[in-house]
Chain A
């Protein structure tokens, strides 16, 4: 079997960064080839070059053994290359068929020949087992179905090579399973698939071969069947990766955060948190787990001051903070890694150095007498970039918007940990991050615990909760339905509590 795609010695520069450095990718026909790498490793850049969105400075591309010059996506399409983007490009109030034919509409005279278009869409859909209704409107179908419409769009244009850019990021576990089946079916029918991802489980599940990129360089290409997840992770990150969080036993001391009978309204004006009581001690990580939308957000926002408490009390050490302004809570030793890093965590239009003093810009040494000390702010950024390994193209002067998600999150973590808060509220700290960044952030959180801080960790990832926490509190419909020791529970028990069918209050009857 020959190579259908050969990208040889590709080099691509962006201002301040070499996105691809002498990368070679060879994809066998009728196979699923995974492209693995951390965020910012250059996967998307490489595929954008193949799809004609960028032009490489050096290197050549051969399709079916013939050297080609892909100037723009139209050339790519005519070569049989199609791409399913991470963010779908669909017209919401058009039907499936209308979206698929957009740009190459079949005509009958001057009219759109909807019927024959629908027929063709239906037959392709059947052939690959996609089960898409050609007459449904996009706004009425699920995200998983919308993705299939994107796949159909390429098949309709006779694509032979399909590029999937992080296709599972938006899907539920069930939909992911179905997508895997579709991908296998596509290969059976003679297509070739390039799968961009940083999820090792998925590669293990479907891919035949895997090319690993790290910091723009090609680390190697391996057959998936004979390579373990650990080996691939090591290639991706450049060192051994611990899937398990290394930590000693917790040594809990005084209660630093105490919540008593807290009521908080949600955005619909109903009680999102009801009579909730909770304690977090110095030197422990309390995991807060629950199905999305069961009051986690409201609880965290009430503690940090972003939402108002209807009734009840919140104490930081001995001091009541229930109705204090946010600034005073922060000054009393509260730290917060927010759930939504773009909305709350960063000012995206500020540079990195300005973002790193978001809380304490008015304090010495960053300012005196109300005048900013730009040098101190810059030095602070340089120090944190170094210490927390935040990667940014232009150092302290990098606009936050231009940084990758993982590095944005690292910047927030750096800022919060550097303030050294006694009580640390951490929400969804690793959402959308790659293995290396996740491992790093977990390590820093555990290190803060070992320094004697009280940490409340809210996450929708059950693995994260079980790995990192010492105790786990399960929240269901705004109430704590149980608190268990992380070492003495399992997914099954937590799942039952999360769905509200099991209650488990610790001894003393006090949550």
Chain B
């Protein structure tokens, strides 16, 4: 099996196995997996394949909304991962990105073509800054990035809540005043073609982020040196690369992707800053997306859409009497099957061998 084919085939198999397992559980609870798949199809296309209900494009909009942030946090995890770093700080980077977006949205007054880019840039910078901290500590003092990035997540959560509640003056202990129109990604046009969904222009920065990720990693000398450091630090140093600088930069860029996710949510899905009781899990979903997507831009795009679809299917499944947790189980088992890819590969190879043997037998 060639490496390239294997990279595509194995995650697809994992997804298939995940769905099979989910179906079996649905059957075990005495319900029809057909209803589950119908809910999923409706979850991303708005088409109802069971009931005779007209096409509802609203679901498409909501599906995209769910996919966008986890694609970005997936890119964040994958970027650090390509440099051999295990960053689980996307959660916190997203939150400070969201806070920075809130600040610029509320404090700056400018026409939209200036204000909106400023909002996005602020979130990117804030995320990068938040990512730089574990990167710097790793490079300078060899503190493990997992520990630092987890702690940075808590700092981000409470910093966000403190600033939202105390500085921006919350309306009802939860949210800030509404942002001016000039700061928003929202679009009446997009809303109108998706029957009032929250779909917004956020998908444009997401697509740009995917392109930028792929370009940096695969096409640039910087990406080459990041990958070299990720695979073999000693050889990179021997070749004259600045290993520590690469670690910090990689964590910053990873943070930038996650920070952008913060503004896509805050000025796209919502139009106000929010205080939160706990992290919303986008960061951890991003890890799953990056794993299933094989740390490649195209893979992350598909994995992000897949998990976005599972998220939007949840309420629909519930309305069909299927526990919404099934979607979570499918998502988790896909990640598990991806983690078990070596076992799956072994089974595949054994299967192939057997086939070859029987083919030989036929000839004889």
A349 touches B231 (CB 8 A): yes
Contact with A along B212-230 (1 / 0, CB 8 A): 0000000111111101100
Interface residues on A, range: 20 to 34
Given A361-B225, A371-B221, A350–B238 Cβ distance below 8 Å?
Answer: no
Contact with B along A357-378 (1 / 0, CB 8 A): 0110110000100111000000
User: Does any Cβ of A come within 8 Å of B143's Cβ?
Assistant: no
A343 touches B231 (CB 8 A): no
Residues of B contacting A487 in the complex (Cβ-Cβ under 8 angstroms): none
Task: Give the contacting residue for B220; candidates A325, A336, A345, A370; CB below 8 A.
Answer: A370
Contact with A along B240-262 (1 / 0, CB 8 A): 11100000000000000000000
A306 touches B231 (CB 8 A): no
Closest Cβ–Cβ distance, residue A127 to chain B (whole Å) = 41
Task: Give the contacting residue for A361; candidates B219, B221, B231, B234; CB below 8 A.
Answer: B221
Closest Cβ–Cβ distance, residue A223 to chain B (whole Å) = 39
User: Does any Cβ of B come within 8 Å of A319's Cβ?
Assistant: no
User: Does any Cβ of B come within 8 Å of A354's Cβ?
Assistant: yes
Closest Cβ–Cβ distance, residue B121 to chain A (whole Å) = 22
Docked Cα-Cα span, A197 to B224, in Å, equals 39
Residues of B contacting A216 in the complex (Cβ-Cβ under 8 angstroms): none
Interface residues of B (CB under 8 A from A): 219-225, 227-228, 231-232, 234-242
A-B CB contact pairs (8 Å), 23 listed: A304-B238, A306-B238, A326-B237, A326-B238, A326-B239, A327-B240, A329-B240, A336-B238, A338-B238, A343-B232, A343-B235, A344-B235, A344-B238, A347-B228, A347-B235, A349-B231, A350-B228, A350-B231, A358-B235, A359-B240, A361-B225, A367-B221, A370-B220
Residues of A contacting B228 in the complex (Cβ-Cβ under 8 angstroms): 347, 350, 358
Task: Give the contacting residue for B236; candidates A329, A347, A367; CB below 8 A.
Answer: A347
Q: A343-B232, A367-B221 are in contact. List 4 more A-B contacts (CB 8 A).
A: A344-B237, A344-B238, A345-B238, A372-B224
Closest Cβ–Cβ distance, residue A339 to chain B (whole Å) = 11
Docked Cα-Cα span, A325 to B243, in Å, equals 12
Among A328, A347, A362, the one with the most B-chain Cβ atoms within 10 Å of its Cβ is A347
Q: A15 — nearest CB in chain B belongs to which residue? A: B2
User: Does any Cβ of B come within 8 Å of A346's Cβ?
Assistant: yes
Name the 7 nearest CB pairs between A and B, nearest first: A327-B240, A344-B238, A326-B240, A358-B239, A362-B221, A349-B231, A347-B232
Residues of A contacting B232 in the complex (Cβ-Cβ under 8 angstroms): 343, 346-349
Residues of A contacting B224 in the complex (Cβ-Cβ under 8 angstroms): 354, 361, 372
Docked Cα-Cα span, A325 to B244, in Å, equals 13
Closest Cβ–Cβ distance, residue B232 to chain A (whole Å) = 5
Residues of A contacting B242 in the complex (Cβ-Cβ under 8 angstroms): 325, 327
Interface residues of A (CB under 8 A from B): 304, 306, 325-330, 336, 338, 343-350, 354, 358-359, 361-362, 367, 370-372
Closest Cβ–Cβ distance, residue A7 to chain B (whole Å) = 20
A372 touches B219 (CB 8 A): yes
Given A347-B228, A347-B232, A348-B232, A370–B222 Cβ distance below 8 Å?
Answer: yes
Closest Cβ–Cβ distance, residue B12 to chain A (whole Å) = 22
Docked Cα-Cα span, A347 to B240, in Å, equals 13
B237 touches A306 (CB 8 A): yes
B237 touches A330 (CB 8 A): no
Docked Cα-Cα span, A330 to B236, in Å, equals 13
Given A362-B221, A372-B221, A325–B235 Cβ distance below 8 Å?
Answer: no
Task: Give the contacting residue for A345; candidates B222, B235, B237; CB below 8 A.
Answer: B235
Closest Cβ–Cβ distance, residue B108 to chain A (whole Å) = 32
Closest Cβ–Cβ distance, residue B128 to chain A (whole Å) = 19
Closest Cβ–Cβ distance, residue B155 to chain A (whole Å) = 34
Docked Cα-Cα span, A127 to B220, in Å, equals 65
Residues of A contacting B238 in the complex (Cβ-Cβ under 8 angstroms): 304, 306, 326, 336, 338, 344-345
Given A343-B235, A347-B231, A330–B240 Cβ distance below 8 Å?
Answer: yes
Residues of A contacting B227 in the complex (Cβ-Cβ under 8 angstroms): 350
Docked Cα-Cα span, A346 to B231, in Å, equals 10
Task: Give the contacting residue for A348; candidates B223, B231, B236, B239; CB below 8 A.
Answer: B231
Residues of A contacting B225 in the complex (Cβ-Cβ under 8 angstroms): 361-362
Residues of B contacting A327 in the complex (Cβ-Cβ under 8 angstroms): 240-242
Residues of A contacting B231 in the complex (Cβ-Cβ under 8 angstroms): 347-350
Q: A330 — nearest CB in chain B belongs to which residue? A: B240
Residues of B contacting A330 in the complex (Cβ-Cβ under 8 angstroms): 239-240
A346 touches B221 (CB 8 A): no
Residues of A contacting B236 in the complex (Cβ-Cβ under 8 angstroms): 347
Residues of B contacting A349 in the complex (Cβ-Cβ under 8 angstroms): 231-232
Given A326-B240, A359-B240, A370–B235 Cβ distance below 8 Å?
Answer: no
Q: B229 — nearest CB in chain A belongs to which residue? A: A347
Q: A327 — nearest CB in chain B belongs to which residue? A: B240
Residues of B contacting A359 in the complex (Cβ-Cβ under 8 angstroms): 239-240
Residues of A contacting B220 in the complex (Cβ-Cβ under 8 angstroms): 367, 370-372
Residues of A contacting B239 in the complex (Cβ-Cβ under 8 angstroms): 326, 330, 358-359
